Amino acid sequence: MPLAEPGGTDKVRSCSGVDMTHPFLSRRSLLAAAGLAVPGFALAQSQSGPFRFAGWRGAETDAERGFFEVPEDRRDPASRRISLSYVRFPSTSARPGPPIVYLAGGPGGTATGTATGPRFPIFMALREVADVIAFDQRGTGLSNHIPPRPPSTGPAPALTRDALTRSLRDELQSAWADWTRAGVAMRGYNTVESADDIDALRRHLGVETIDLWGISYGSHLALSVLKRHGDRVGRVALASLEGQDQTVKRPARLDACLQRVDALLDADPAVRAAVPDLPALMRRVHERLEAAPVDLAVAGPAGPIALQVGGFAVQLLAGGMIANPGTLALLPGLYLALDAGETSLLAPFLGGMAARLGVTGMPEAMDLASGISAERLRRVEAEARTAVLGDALNFPMPHLVGAVEGVDLGDDFRAPIRIDTPALLVAGTLDGRTPLEEQAEVAAQFQQRTQVTVDNAGHNVFESHAEVQDLLVRFFRGEAVEDATLSLPPPAFRLG
C-alpha cells in the first residue's frame, strides 16, 4: 500500500501549507517548526544596523539588527560575556506601545528564522501596535557561542529506546566536557538565564516595559520572565502552552489526544472501516517492531546508511506527525502499511536522521535544567508502560536526566505561580505536542486571561486561522478581546 506523499526531504507540509521540520527525533526540531535553522540572510547580516529583511514568499521589509552583551553565567563571575542578537521591525504607528518581543519554541528555535516563515505576516501586522523584536535566545542563531560538534563518522545507533538513549547520553557527556574545556559556561544555558536575558534586552532597548509573544517552549520561557520580571511585562500572548514542570509531557494526556483523533475517523466511513481502532493499530505495529526490529538502508549525506528500526523509532516518528493536522492526516495510512509489513515506507521519513542524532548544546542544556519533578517523573514512567507512544514524545527527555550533574533548576523553578498580567492564550484542539489537558494546567495560572481555541488546529496555531492575527493585533493594542472558538475543517485522513 503506497503511502501518499511521504516526503523525501527534511520537510513535510502542515495543514495550512506551512513547511515544517521533518517529524522525527527531537522535540526541539518539532516545536521550533519554521524557526530552527538560521537562514542565509541572517548570517549575512552579522553587523548591527539597518538592512532589508527577507521574509516569507519573497516579501521584504526594513529591519534593524542589534546586539547586546550579557554574562554567559551570571552565577559565575569568571564566565565569558556573550553577544545576543535580535532583529527589530520598526512600528508603523505614530504612537507605538511597548515593544513586542517574540520568544521562539524548541528550545533551540530562532525568532529570526520564524520570521522568515508563515508567521511573517503576523510580525508585520503587529507593527501597527509597536516595534516587534525577533530575539534569538542564547545558544541560537547569531546568539550562539557554543562550538559545533564534528559530524559523527561511526555507524548510526540502532533506533531502539536503549540504543538511542545510550548514544545520546554518551555524546552529550563527551560534548559537555569538550565545551567546558573550551571555556563555554554550559551551566549558564538554562531558562532562568534566558529570562534574565530578556530583561537585559528591555534595558538595552531603553524601555520601561515590554510585551511578550511566544509559543511552546517560548511560553515556558515567558513564565520564567513573568516570575522574575513580571513588573516589567505589560501583556503576553502565548500559544501551545508548556508549563514550568511540563518539559516532559504526560503519556496519558497524549493518549487522550489520540482518542480525539480516533473519533475523527468516524467522519469517513472508508477510513473507519480500514482502521476500526487507531490506537490499537498503532500499539500492534510498535509491539511487532520492538520484538523484531527491521534493517533499512536510508539515504545519508555521504551515501546509504544502515539503520536498525524498532518500535521506538516509529513512536518517535508518530510523536512528530501528531503535532499538526497535515502530517496527522498521514498517520492511518502509514500504520496500515506498516501493519502489512511495508516497512520500506519508513525510509523517506528516516533519511537524513543521522544528522539529527548529535547534540548542539543549547537545547539539551535547557531541557536538563528545566528538568522534571520527582513526582511527575514517577507518573510519566508509570503511564509510559501502557501509553501508545510510551515515553517517546519528548525524547531525549527524560532519557537524558542525570547525564550531567548539578544543572537542574529545582522544584522552586517548576512551581506554578499566580499571574495577574493580561494574557491571550491560543490553543489548537489537535495539538499533539502540548495536549489540551496539559495546557489547561498552565492557563489556570493566569488570572486575567482570554482563551481562544481553534478547532482542528495543531501545534502551529498562530498561523492556522486568519482571525488569530487580528485578535493578536487587537489584544496588544489594548482592546477588549473575548473568549472565542474558531473552526477549521478536520484533517482529511489518507489511506494510500
DSSP codes of every residue in 74-143: TT-TTSPEEEEEEEEE----SS--S-EEEE-STTT--HHHHTTTTTHHHHHHGGGTS-EEEEE-TTSGGG
Helices assigned H by DSSP within 371-491: 374-384, 411-414, 436-443, 466-477
Tell me how far apart the alpha carbons of residues 466 and 152 are, in angstroms, rounded to a whole number.
Answer: 43
Bridge partners (DSSP) listed for residue 85: 67, 136
Tell me how far apart the alpha carbons of residues 172 and 109 are, in angstroms, rounded to a whole number.
Answer: 19
Tell me how far apart the alpha carbons of residues 9 and 188 are, in angstroms, rounded to a whole number.
Answer: 35
Tell me how far apart the alpha carbons of residues 141 and 487 are, in angstroms, rounded to a whole number.
Answer: 35
Look at residue 15 in the predicted model and tell me its pLDDT.
30
The three cell numbers locating residue 451: 482563551
Look at residue 422 in the predicted model and tell me its pLDDT.
98
Tell me how far apart the alpha carbons of residues 197 and 487 are, in angstroms, rounded to a whole number.
Answer: 37
Tell me how far apart the alpha carbons of residues 81 and 79 are, in angstroms, rounded to a whole number.
Answer: 7
Tell me how far apart the alpha carbons of residues 13 and 9 are, in angstroms, rounded to a whole number.
Answer: 11
Look at residue 24 in the predicted model and tell me its pLDDT.
42
pLDDT tens figures, 193-204: 999 999 999 999
What band does 154 get if pLDDT is binned at 50, 70 and 90? confident
The three cell numbers locating residue 7: 516526503
Look at residue 41 in the predicted model and tell me its pLDDT.
39
| pLDDT for residue 89 is more than 70 | yes
Q: How far is CA 323 from the centre of its chain?
A: 10
The three cell numbers locating residue 384: 509510559
The predicted model gives 93-121 an average pLDDT of 97
pLDDT tens figures, 325-337: 999 999 999 999 9
- Residue in the block written with cell 516518528: 317
Tell me how far apart the alpha carbons of residues 262 and 244 are, in angstroms, rounded to a whole number.
Answer: 30
What band does 39 get if pLDDT is binned at 50, 70 and 90? very low
What band does 355 get if pLDDT is binned at 50, 70 and 90? low
Residue 396 contacts by C-beta under 8 Å, 6 or more apart in sequence? 26, 164, 165, 168, 364, 367
| pLDDT for residue 150 is more than 50 | yes
| List of E strands, 44-149 | 49-54, 60-71, 81-89, 100-103, 132-136
| pLDDT for residue 12 is more than 80 | no
Look at residue 151 in the predicted model and tell me its pLDDT.
81
pLDDT tens figures, 50-83: 999 999 999 999 999 999 999 999 999 999 999 9
Average per-residue pLDDT for the chain: 90
Tell me how far apart the alpha carbons of residues 169 and 128 are, in angstroms, rounded to a whole number.
Answer: 47
> How open is the CA angle 325-35-425, to the nearest 5 degrees?
60
The predicted model gives 392-420 an average pLDDT of 97
Tell me how far apart the alpha carbons of residues 225 and 101 are, in angstroms, rounded to a whole number.
Answer: 12
Look at residue 463 in the predicted model and tell me its pLDDT.
97
The predicted model gives 359-371 an average pLDDT of 97
Tell me how far apart the alpha carbons of residues 311 and 343 are, in angstroms, rounded to a whole number.
Answer: 11
Contact 378, 251 (CB under 8 A): no
- Residue in the block written with cell 528591555: 202
- Cα 341 to Cα 6, 136, 159, 390: the distances in Å are 16, 44, 18, 22
The three cell numbers locating residue 429: 484542539
pLDDT tens figures, 128-139: 999 999 999 999
In whole angstroms, how large is the CA radius of gyration of the chain? 22
Look at residue 179 in the predicted model and tell me its pLDDT.
98
Look at residue 60 in the predicted model and tell me its pLDDT.
97
The predicted model gives 283-310 an average pLDDT of 90
Q: How far is CA 124 from the centre of its chain?
A: 22
Longest CA–CA span in the chain (Å) reads 66
The predicted model gives 222-247 an average pLDDT of 98
Percentage of the chain with pLDDT > 90? 83
- One-letter amino acid at 62 equals D
